[in-house]
Structure formats: C-alpha cells, structure tokens
Structure 1
C-alpha cells in the first residue's frame, strides 16, 4: 500500500522515504528543536544566573536552564512528537550572548539530522544572596595582620581570596581597613580567616592567635565573631 507525505502529498519511495509521515523535504522544513517561553533571572551585580534555588556562572546557568526545558523531535511512535532532550540523551551545544534586556540563545545539535534553534529569552534582575551579603557589609571573622612592609602580604592574601572565591562564592572579603600596625580583613567565613592565617604562617612565618566574641544567637545556638591575629615576620 502506498503511503503519502501528509504535508505535501508526495509518494513514498526508496529515494523519498517517509519519516513520521513526512518526506525528507517537509521534514527538513519542520522545527526539530523547541523551547517553551522562559525567563532568565540574572544577578545585576555578579552576572550569575538563578537555576532552581542556586546561582551559577552565566554560561553554565543558561546551558542548564535551556537543556532542562529543551524539546527534541522524536519519531519513535511513527509520528513526529516532541520529548525532553534529557529523556532521550540528546547532545546539544548551547551558546548564549547577552543583549539589552535579553539573552540570545543558539542551540546546535551534535546530531546533524536534529538541527538548530535560535531564540531570545527575556532577563529579570534579582540580586543573589552572596551579593546581598557583600553589599550589606556581612562578615563572620576578622583577620588582623600586623607587621611592617605588608605590600607583598596584601597581594598574597587578595590573590588567594580571588582564587578561592571562584571555587566557592560564599568566601569573600567584605572590606579591608588600614589600621595602626597593619591591616584588618573583614571576611565572610571563619574558616577563610583561619586558612589565610595558615597561609601567612607558611609563607611569612606569622605567629597566630585567635579570639571569639559572642554576638548573639540564632535558632538557639550562640553566634560568635572570630578574630584571627597574624603577626608577620617581615624578614621572611
């Protein structure tokens, strides 16, 4: 029994097979990738993108959001239907470019027969938790660096925090104050203050001491603000 393309009416043959009821010509004209209407939420300060309850670097965040919603044409049932890309293990490359008030998205399938999608998604601005903490002056610990000729020490500490912050955005310097005898670093984490203190001990022979001050309670647990004192041997 002859079959016909339901779109153009052409007859099925060896040279013109039907896939999902469509001839090759009509099939190639059909969109094979699609996205529902989406809105990206971006932090205006750091550019991170909200994915569920988390914030990710812009490109990775966009990639995860697009892939989780992307639908790919499937012909498993004999007719064309769209299924989630993740459900069938589709391999795609997502590229994102920021424009005014929107993100331009290009999705390319690594399977040539699947195709290409280009669209734009609107951007909503929302400050992420880390940037809210930074702008609010939040800190849990103070690293008190004491010594002379601290230029190299300051460079070492700020390079270390820059590297650490890329691995974990919760670790950051809120502010640095020049005080008599040295520098005070207001830090987001007690562990960060201790880590930097150990770094100064290793690199500059610093002598370390630590004190804690009760500043309140949360959920029935006492909260302390820790100060780590690092006396630097400037001859190292």
Structure 2
C-alpha cells in the first residue's frame, strides 16, 4: 500500500485521525470522559449549591442541580463535532449512594458513537452563608415603612411588597410588624438600597437615611443602615 491507510482496519483513501479512520477511532477511543464519582454541596434549607467557592441560587430541584453538575464535568475528545447527553433517573445503591446513568451520543467526522456511563454523586448538605445569617437574624439594613396619615394600612404594605424581586424577598432576615408600620430587615445593605431606589423612582415618598449601632470593626467604622419611608 503506497497511500495513507487505517492501521487498524486497512481502509485506504479515507480521512484519518492520527493513523485511524473515523470508524476505528470511535471504536477504539473513549469519546467522553466523566468522573466516576463526584460530590456536590447543597444548602439544606434553600437548595442553593456551592459552585467554585460561591453559593448559586437553585434553578430547579436537587436532581436538576446534580444533572447540571455532571454535565459541566464532561470532557469531550477533541475530535467530537456534536453530541447529546441523556441523563437517566437517579437511583440509590444499598450504601445510600446516588447514581446517575448517562447516555452520550454524537459524531466524529460523520461516524456516530454511543457511550453509557454511571456517575456516583455524593450530596453534602450544609447551610449557605445567607441561611446562616437569616437564622441568626443578621442584618445590615432596615427599611422602616410608615404612613404620613398615622397607622400603615394593609394595602400600603402590599403595594410596597409588590416591588420586591425574588432576590429582595430571599434577602430578608426578619419582618417586624409594629403599630406604626413595618420594619424589613435585610441581610445585604446594597439589596435594600436598590429596592428603595426602585420604589422611590415610581412612587412619591418621604425618605430619610440614618445609622444605628455604630462601632469600629476591624479598624473600619461599621453601622446598621436605617431607611425610613413614609407613604
């Protein structure tokens, strides 16, 4: 044989990947690699998962989070041109370990491949930073909602809360209803200020900022922000 040929099957006049034709290449190589086992850290209260050292809000149930984690861990052979992943139903072995069966199909130079994998996933449950703070009723800012007319009505309270985004609501560590109005305790000062700015841009409201519990923390001045809103 004078020309190029596949060293495995002997085919001539075909495109080679290294020294193999596409058919022999996909038969002799692992097209997709995935860890045999992996772990995921999930908040037992809100379902957030820890990704690269940061807590990420859940976009679905725990199974969806696990599927995302597995798919992101896939390593494809450099010659794979297109692929599709089917994640099967999670099952548990006799030791309580969770397993996900995977079926990965795709092609290399028009040659189809189909591989099956099994990934064992260990779920570590803990509390995310936000839930730890929420449980301890930690807060950086208070929004005091009041009425110019005296007692705050239910309609006014509901109207203000209609401006809450999901992030705003999840950032609350406490809500205290008083005779004169409602105090909303926010874990993050920036979230509270952003909510107030959005509300004040659309509603005529008297707004006043002040600080309480001022102290020196790690050489820096630290205090709780209090934002008073009067409708």
Same fold, judged at TM 0.5 (above):
yes
Question: Larger relative CO (CA 8 A, sep 6+): 1 or 2?
Answer: 2
User: Separation in 1 of the partners of 2:43 and 2:137?
Assistant: 18
| Contact 1:200/1:230 (<8 A) preserved | no
User: Separation in 1 of the partners of 2:175 and 2:54?
Assistant: 28
| TM alignment of 1:39-78, pairs within 5 A | 39-58=39-58, 65-66=69-70, 69-74=73-78
| Contact 2:130/2:171 (<8 A) preserved | no
The CA RMSD over aligned residues, in Å, is 3.9
Q: 1:163 Cα shift?
A: 3.3
| TM alignment of 1:180-191, pairs within 5 A | 180-191=179-190
| Contact 1:92/1:107 (<8 A) preserved | no
User: Separation in 2 of the partners of 1:159 and 1:95?
Assistant: 40
1:221 aligns with 2:225: no
1:161 aligns with 2:164: yes
Task: Classify 1:165/1:144 alpha carbon distance in 2 versus 1 (closer, same or farther; 3 Å).
Answer: closer
Which residue among 100, 106, 112 is the counterpart of 1:104? 100
User: Separation in 1 of the partners of 2:128 and 2:106?
Assistant: 33
| Contact 1:174/1:186 (<8 A) preserved | yes
User: Separation in 2 of the partners of 1:95 and 1:27?
Assistant: 19
- Give the secondary-structure state (helix, strand or coil) at the position aligned to 2:174: strand
Q: 2:207 is matched with which residue? A: 208
- Give the secondary-structure state (helix, strand or coil) at the position aligned to 2:157: helix
| Contact 2:168/2:192 (<8 A) preserved | no
| Contact 1:46/1:131 (<8 A) preserved | yes
Q: 1:140 Cα shift?
A: 0.8
- Give the secondary-structure state (helix, strand or coil) at the position aligned to 1:205: coil
Q: Which moved more, 1:113-122 or 1:60-69?
A: 60-69
How many residues end up aligned between the 2 structures? 210
| Contact 1:38/1:122 (<8 A) preserved | yes
**Could you tell me the TM-score, scaled by structure 1's length?**
0.67
Q: 2:195 is matched with which residue? A: 196
Q: 2:176 is matched with which residue? A: 177
User: Separation in 1 of the partners of 2:99 and 2:168?
Assistant: 26
